[in-house]
Amino acid sequence: MSTETLLKTPLHALHLELGARMVPFAGYDMPVQYPLGVMKEHLHTRDQAGLFDVSHMGQIRLTGANAAKALETLVPVDIIDLPVGMQRYAMFTNEQGGILDDLMVANLGNDELFLVVNAACKDQDLAHLRQHIGDQCSIEPLFEARALLALQGPAAVKVLARLAPEVTGMTFMQFASLRLLGVDCYVSRSGYTGEDGFEISVPAASAESLARSLLAETEVQPIGLGARDSLRLEAGLCLYGHDMNTETTPIEASLLWAISKARRADGPRAGGFPGADRIFSQQQAGVKRKRVGLLPQERTPVREGAEIVDEHGTVVGSVCSGGFGPTLGGPLAMGYLDSAFVALDTQVFALVRGKKVPLRVSKMPFVPQRYYRG
């Protein structure tokens, strides 16, 4: 894709001004790193606070008395009883139980739901919503209208409290409408780094002034997609299209925790979402392969796509995400393994340029998550 056809976020000019190295990502021209560099950006986020431009993600508002009930027909998640001012992780599933996308759903009150979906999937997610529930609620894409910033790290709360003191009272996954610099924003205490932090939806026209204001705080550095990836990998968080896709079910992807109890086979609103029967039967009978954490036992980084073999050289899986963990201080990976090999501490081998690199099946997250739960 040539740069002429790449989309730009409202912060594009600011990234260039800050000296970012830009790369194509999900159809957008995005900052992969700034002059600080991926390693220092990663460590700065864990130590203080990092500001990420995630405006390429899709923001969608659903409105109407039936919006929650309608959305429940597309996700294995309890939306009807999602409290006002809370957000929940969800997945769109297909008829085979495969994952079409993962998303965040917040309850704004007044029969309004606010969705954040992945950049690469947002047009198909919007079409999916319109096709299946467009007659049951109003569906408003905010793709051009709003930007999305993530302020992540232990100093995030102190920094954001200078603009809106009420954020100090929020806990993990709470969601609020707040005024920042005189502009109406949606703020959730959540993120994709494993750290405490906030995601801020701001009108596109006000995004740059808010970003500049946050970057002016001594604790804050701009952080690119490179460190975003190493941070989420250390936190054991999935990246759609890599760690799960339409060919993987929530059970295979080790995302059973995200299927709300109310929607499970023995719950009061069991099933009623695409692929429920297959997902429930997998939950009972088990699956042939599962996503696990993997720790390479040498310094060699193991990348996405690498085959995984057992001691006899038989292929038993593949790596879906891999790289170096600056906080962990070594390489790390996630992969899909045949279920005979998924027990913790099982040894397998990744094939890297013809060489067998030993891997140990490891629990996740690799680095403890530090969400603020009050």
Instruction: Give domain limits for the chain.
Output: 1-240, 288-365
d(CA 149, CA 172): 17
Q: What local confidence, expressed as pLDDT, does residue 81 receive?
A: 98
- The architecture that CATH gives domain 1-240 is 2-Layer Sandwich (3.30)
- Round to whole Å and give the CA distance between 245 and 253: 9
CATH fold label, 288-365: Elongation Factor Tu (Ef-tu); domain 3 (2.40.30)
Mean pLDDT by 10 residues, the chain (374 residues): 80 98 97 98 98 98 98 98 98 98 98 98 98 98 98 98 98 98 98 98 98 98 98 98 98 98 97 98 97 97 97 98 98 98 98 96 98 97
CA distance linking residue 229 with residue 59, whole number of Å? 21
| pLDDT for the residue numbered 4 | 65
Instruction: Give me the residue label for tokens 């501490």.
Output: 345
Amino acid 2: pLDDT: 53
Q: What pLDDT was estimated at residue 288? A: 98
pLDDT on residue 270: 97
Residue 235 token pair = 């936190």
Residue 1 confidence (pLDDT)? 47
The answer to whether 271 and 121 have CB atoms below 8 angstroms apart is: no
